[in-house]
Amino acid sequence: MTKANATRRRRQSLELVDAKEAVDLANLQKENVFLFIPNIIGYSRVILAGLSLYYMSYHPIYCTILYGVSCLLDAVDGHAARMLGQTSKFGAVLDMVTDRCTTSCLLCYLSSVYPPYAVLFQFLITLDFSSHYMHMYSSLVTGSTSHKLVNSDVSRILSLYYNPVTLFTICAGNELFFVSLYLMKWISTPINAAAFGSWTYPEVMASFTGPIFILKNVINAVQLWKASKILVGVDLAERAAARAAKFQAQVQVQDEKQKS
In this structure, are residues 92 and 132 in contact, taking their beta carbons and an 8 Å threshold?
no
How far is it, in rounded angstroms, from Cα 169 to Cα 206? 15
In this structure, are residues 145 and 15 in contact, taking their beta carbons and an 8 Å threshold?
no
Q: Residue 85: CB partners within 8 Å, gap ≥ 6?
A: none
- DSSP assignment of 37-54 equals HHHHHHHHHHHHHHHHHH
Based on the residue annotation, tell me whether 77 is a catalytic residue of this protein. Answer: no
How buried is 196 (Cβ within 10 angstroms: 0-12 exposed, 13-18 middle, 19+ buried)?
middle
- Identify the sign of the CA torsion 118, 113, 133, 211: positive
Q: Residue 166: CB partners within 8 Å, gap ≥ 6?
A: 160
Catalytic residue selected from 18, 99, 128, 153: 99
How far is it, in rounded angstroms, from Cα 163 to Cα 177? 21
How far is it, in rounded angstroms, from Cα 21 to Cα 6? 28
How far is it, in rounded angstroms, from Cα 170 to Cα 217? 10
Which helix H or strand E contains 159, and what residues bound it?
Answer: helix 156-161
**Residues taking part in catalysis:** 99
